[in-house]
Structure 1
């Protein structure tokens, strides 16, 4: 059976299965902690908000319960991030860099196995009502197989292998982001109704079944883009094939060593823009569910589902934005600038949103928030030679995972410390941190980013001994 060079179905189903339970994870932890602290059943209402019902409650400790549960739920997320960060980062860097030699599929399959383990652990804890802190251990175990950074790094490297020109690469990467948005939006809307109708167990089981389906596609249908060297392969200079760790270090080193000084400067600055923007955006957006559960909003699971779905439409609108602006010839730096300003404006409004209507409205200014990510990936990919795409996306995934996990630790800590006084402070912090990528982007604009023509890197070729002798006889230009 002939395989397919289509990674989009993998990304789409992965997004659906992940976002089906992503809004439920914080809600599940929140409800379990509520039961532990109050010794009462978590209040469930058919109204748009539970605050009206709770305000008439005879319990004078209601507000203090909310603050304490908010703090503990935030600290739970903090501990989860801390325990799973280091293993995930190491695996991401090694697997995605090794994919230049060993193939891209390993970077896709391994994180899927880890996600399946995580889903099954959640299902087990939920079904048997085990200690909720066991979920931190399951997060640590799943991180040993890589994480979202490993998966996306492998997928974007896979796409880079298939695309030749920069415009096609930009649109294809933006298309991958759009697939994440579309399916995650559908999953987010479904999650609230799924939870209301069937409880937590069935969504976790459905997500696990989706992960199994993705694994089958990735293993048996998805075609490999990297031609692996034979077991007796040697490099053109006669040296043996490097090990996985050496290949990882060598690939990242060569990515910088083979470029001019101007290319190195632009490369470092663009990576700084990518990581600093990711830190600010992910840190703020990750706390929206907790903010919605808190007073005065007190959203139900249905509203949280609609809110999450509306938030994921930014993937679709950002894809449309990238496509239209690229077609119209808008400079890529300007596209990145508009995306950063979109996040800043949305976060500032979010910090002052106290009603359900405003919480939906604040999503509108953020409709272009995802545009910087595919554009920056494409710009970086054009600077690096085709043989070093895995090293590039390994480095990007590694740094992205570092910044996302560190931002989770920082923002959850800040939220736990400020939730009693001003819970919207974390969103002002997110908007303020966006000044850093804006400044660096201005520096890149002064230097200039049209450096692709300066890259004249030779492609490393792996040959068997017989092939090398024959190649020498034919005076191949590979050896000239």
Structure 2
């Protein structure tokens, strides 16, 4: 049977399952903490969640305590994933340059299946919410989303020409948004109709289907002979894998190393701001004055993920007229506008308008990946995207620590302070990109990180 050089279905199924389960598990934890702290069951109606707005009501104070405890719990979950996810992503990313990309796609899918089944068991048997740390950590040991997306982007780099990379990588981001939007939108209705058990079971079946596709239908993009695979083993194999990460810098001249390093810094700082600001939306929406229920949260999360589709269209259109750096700057401006509006979003309409202003907010991610991919050799794509994925994981973890802690400390005085911080952090990548725009490479050193047409 002929296999397919199509990694998009893997990303689609993984995004559908895991973005849905991330929204579900946050709401599950919030409800369990609510029940523990208020000694009452979590009740919602068709219009709003179990939300108190009278500041003199004693239950309102408990509601703020639940907000802070939930924020810290989400932070600890991210910390549990950090170290194993970072190590596995580095090793598997560099490993894939020599032995193929399929393992970087298969292992995270297996870990995701185990995690979703464990979440189902916790919900079905009403186990302690602290049991959730076990599947979360196990999932990270299999690589989690950073390894899978890093492998998928390296797979695209393997099979795409230089001119196609912007579009293909933006297409992957669009698939994440569209399929994730379907997942989170349907999760609200599914949760309302069936509770938590059936949604977690459905996610498990989707993860299983993804594993079947990777094993039986996906073609390998890196062809390695059996003799080459047998050349290195044991300690030498590990050393060879890790050396692939360092070769990105050691094989380059000073000017090129500086540009790659600055692009990685711009990517990681923007990811810190984007993950930190956007990651607080669900807690913010559950709190007063919005008081959203699971249906509105599903709509809001889906509207946020539509930005992946609109950002793909934006990259497609702007790539014909603008240089890469200008596309990134437009996307960052869109994100900053959304964060500033979120500070003042006290009604449902304004909260949806936040997503409207942020329609181009994810454009920087695929374009920055493409810019870095064009600067390294094809044999180093896996190592590069391992670095990018690890920085993304690092940024996601630190953003969770920083923004959840700040949100918990400021939820009563200035709820929107975290969004203001996210907007201000974007000044760092903007300054870096403006410097790269001014500091143009010359002659043979020109890998054209800024654009591909200007070298001569």
TM-score greater than 0.5 by the shorter chain: yes
Q: How do 1:191-270 residues align onto structure 2 when only pairs under 5 Å count?
A: 191-231=187-227, 243-270=236-263
Alignment size in residue pairs: 448
Residues 1:143 and 2:140 aligned together? yes
Which ranges of structure 1 fall in alignment gaps of 5 or more residues?
456-480
Does the 8 A contact of 2:43 with 2:49 survive in 1?
no
Residues 1:376 and 2:402 aligned together? no
- Secondary structure, in 3 states, of the residue corresponding to 2:164? helix
> How far apart are 1:420 and its partner, in Å?
1.7
State the Cα RMSD in Å: 2.1
1:397 to 366, 372, 389: 389
CA distance in 2, matches of 1:49, 1:40: 14
CA distance in 2, matches of 1:371, 1:28: 31
Residues 1:92 and 2:95 aligned together? no
CA distance in 2, matches of 1:452, 1:311: 42
Deviations 1:227-276 (CA, angstroms, capped at 9, x unpaired):
123246698xxx99984321232212221122222111111111111111
> How far apart are 1:317 and its partner, in Å?
0.2
Q: TM-score, normalised by structure 1?
A: 0.90
- Secondary structure, in 3 states, of the residue corresponding to 1:363? helix
CA distance in 1, matches of 2:306, 2:297: 14
Residues 1:125 and 2:117 aligned together? no
Residues 1:285 and 2:278 aligned together? yes
Q: How do 1:451-470 residues align onto structure 2 when only pairs under 5 Å count?
A: 454=446
> How far apart are 1:12 and its partner, in Å?
0.7
- Secondary structure, in 3 states, of the residue corresponding to 2:129? coil
Q: Aligned pair in 2 of structure 1 residues 452, 422: CA closer, same or farther (>3 Å)?
A: farther
2:131 to 130, 134, 153: 134
Aligned to 1:29: 29
Q: Aligned pair in 2 of structure 1 residues 332, 241: CA closer, same or farther (>3 Å)?
A: farther
2:155 to 151, 158, 164: 158
2:167 to 151, 154, 171: 171
CA distance in 1, matches of 2:205, 2:253: 49
CA distance in 2, matches of 1:110, 1:417: 38
Does the 8 A contact of 1:94 with 1:244 survive in 2?
no
- Secondary structure, in 3 states, of the residue corresponding to 1:384? coil
Aligned to 2:297: 304
Q: Aligned pair in 2 of structure 1 residues 427, 449: CA closer, same or farther (>3 Å)?
A: farther
Does the 8 A contact of 1:332 with 1:375 survive in 2?
yes
Residues 1:108 and 2:102 aligned together? no
Larger Rg: 1
Deviations 1:179-219 (CA, angstroms, capped at 9, x unpaired):
11111111121111101100011110000000000000001
Q: Aligned pair in 2 of structure 1 residues 283, 244: CA closer, same or farther (>3 Å)?
A: farther
Does the 8 A contact of 1:104 with 1:224 survive in 2?
yes
Aligned to 1:324: 317
CA distance in 2, matches of 1:193, 1:137: 28
Q: How do 1:356-435 residues align onto structure 2 when only pairs under 5 Å count?
A: 356-435=348-427
